[in-house]
Amino acid sequence: MVVMKLPTELPIIQAPMAGGPSTPALTASVARAGGFGFLAAGYLSTDQLIDLIDSTRALSGAPFGVNIFCPSVPSDLEPVRRYAQVIEPESDRLGVALGGPRWDDDAFDDKIGIVASQRVDLVSFTFGCPDTAAVERLHTAGSRIAVTVTSLAEAQLAERAGADLLLVQGTEAGGHQGSFLELAPNTRSLSSLLETIEASTPLPMVGSGGIMTGADATDVLQRGAIGVHLGTAYLCCPEAGTSSTYRRVLLDQTYSDTILTRAFSGRYARGLANEFALTYGHAAPFAYPEIHHLTRPLRAAATAAGDPSVPNLWAGQGWRRMSADSAEAITRGIAADIRALGNFLG
């Protein structure tokens, strides 16, 4: 394995959570405890991304990362139109029109330019692997590159592109699956993926999926990862930008389980099994970001109304161990448990 150290005291990484939960305050709070924080560039304008980077640096001098969505291929719109007809009753109920099912690249090239000019310490990618030209551009700017992978083939592609780090995502993870070579849902556990990838590629790995406690983290570190990637664990922290509706159903455990579904965005993602996911998931085609834009007005209207039956409520399989403590306290608690359980922090 290639030797690489994270630029922080702890091997604990706050995962980027696009759509609101990731904030400069969250990233700074994790950094105060000795962990590594991420900003999520997904769905942001370029001006918003610059503001987030500036705000994070104003709060903390610690290094941090930025996550960027790789663009997908435009989808056939006919299945999307059929799906729009299926979910029309929700539009009527909420009194809001469906969004236009458009394709965009989430300003990919512009965001590459921003993180290069800002000399962000670590740039991670999901939904795909950047080409060697993009990797070299970021390396020249002093950034290291991480790619989210869900299979050995994806890990090998990231290695060939020049990535420095693999974010290995198991099926347990909340939010979107980062898969880009397979259309089927990733059903492999994190432990299985770490074992397979470590045996076949030299790149260092960070494990992602269902990690909520020091015991979870220790298990991943014992399997060869140099760090652990936590998202769900931080969703209800006061520093997170998670909506009040989202927080309430997580802490109250309104829904009994999670589900992998394309209902909300056209890509497989794990979230709480609310009514929208259960009713419409079977009908949703693979069409990202077209379906994301189609359903966005519904999700926004329901969230504003305090109705949890329609929004995406991303959560990993460990969500029942959710805490509303500060991100700093959660990070320190996990670190203390890692110290007690293994010889990873000295």
Instruction: Note the pLDDT tens digit of each residue in 269-293.
Output: 999 999 999 999 999 999 999 999 9
Q: pLDDT of 284-323, one tens digit each? A: 999 999 999 999 999 999 999 999 999 999 999 999 999 9
Is pLDDT above 80 for 2?
no
* Count of beta carbons in the 10 Å neighbourhood of residue 185: 17
Give me the chain's average pLDDT, please: 96
> Mean pLDDT over residues 338-346, rounded?
76
Q: Is the dihedral of CA 274, 279, 284, 289 positive or negative?
A: negative
Strand order in the sheet with 64-69: 12-14, 227-230, 205-208, 165-169, 144-149, 122-126, 64-69, 37-40
Q: What is the pLDDT of residue 162?
A: 98
Spatial distance between the Cα atoms of 228 and 290, rounded to a whole number of angstroms: 31
> Mean pLDDT over residues 250-254, rounded?
96
Q: Do residues 185 and 268 make contact, with C-beta atoms less than 8 angstroms apart?
A: yes
pLDDT above 90 covers a percentage of the chain that reads 95
Spatial distance between the Cα atoms of 206 and 14, rounded to a whole number of angstroms: 11
Stated as kind and residue range, the H or E segment containing 331 is helix 327-341
Per-residue CA distances from 227 to 3, 195, 219 (Å): 13, 15, 11
Please tell me which residue, 226 or 1, carries the higher pLDDT value.
226
Closest Cα to residue 155, out of 112, 209, 194?
Answer: 194
Spatial distance between the Cα atoms of 212 and 191, rounded to a whole number of angstroms: 15
Q: What is the pLDDT of residue 4?
A: 72
Residue 15 backbone phi and psi in degrees, to 5:
-70, 150
Pairing type for strands 227-230 and 144-149 reads unpaired
The torsion region of residue 224 among left (phi > 0), alpha (psi -120 to 50) and beta comes to left
Q: What is the pLDDT of residue 119?
A: 96
Q: What is the pLDDT of residue 3?
A: 60
> Mean pLDDT over residues 71-90, rounded?
97
Q: pLDDT of 178-220, one tens digit each? A: 999 988 999 999 999 999 999 999 999 999 999 999 999 999 9
In 3-state terms the chain splits into helix, strand, coil percentages (rounded to 5) of: 40, 15, 45
CATH of 1-71+106-237+322-346, one of 3.30.70.20, 3.30.300.130, 3.60.15.10, 3.20.20.70: 3.20.20.70
Provide the CB-side half-sphere exposure for 101 (13 A, CA).
Answer: 24
Pairing type for strands 122-126 and 64-69 reads parallel
> Mean pLDDT over residues 230-246, rounded?
98
Q: What is the pLDDT of residue 63?
A: 96
Domain spans, the chain: 1-71+106-237+322-346, 73-105+256-312
Full-model pTM = 0.96
Is pLDDT above 60 for 346?
no
Rounded to the nearest angstrom, the gap between the alpha carbon of residue 44 and the centroid of all alpha carbons in its chain is 14
Closest Cα to residue 12, out of 41, 36, 29?
Answer: 36
Spatial distance between the Cα atoms of 120 and 21, rounded to a whole number of angstroms: 20
Spatial distance between the Cα atoms of 346 and 335, rounded to a whole number of angstroms: 11
Q: What is the pLDDT of residue 183?
A: 86
3-state secondary structure of 123: strand
Q: pLDDT of 9-54, one tens digit each? A: 999 999 999 999 999 999 999 999 999 999 999 999 999 999 999 9
The three-point CA angle 294-297-298 to 5° equals 90
Q: What is the pLDDT of residue 318?
A: 97
Q: Do residues 189 and 197 make contact, with C-beta atoms less than 8 angstroms apart?
A: no
Q: Do residues 292 and 265 make contact, with C-beta atoms less than 8 angstroms apart?
A: yes
As given in the structure block, the two tokens for residue 58 are 């104003």
Q: Name residue, tokens 């652990």.
A: 228
> Mean pLDDT over residues 228-256, rounded?
97
Q: What is the pLDDT of residue 72?
A: 95
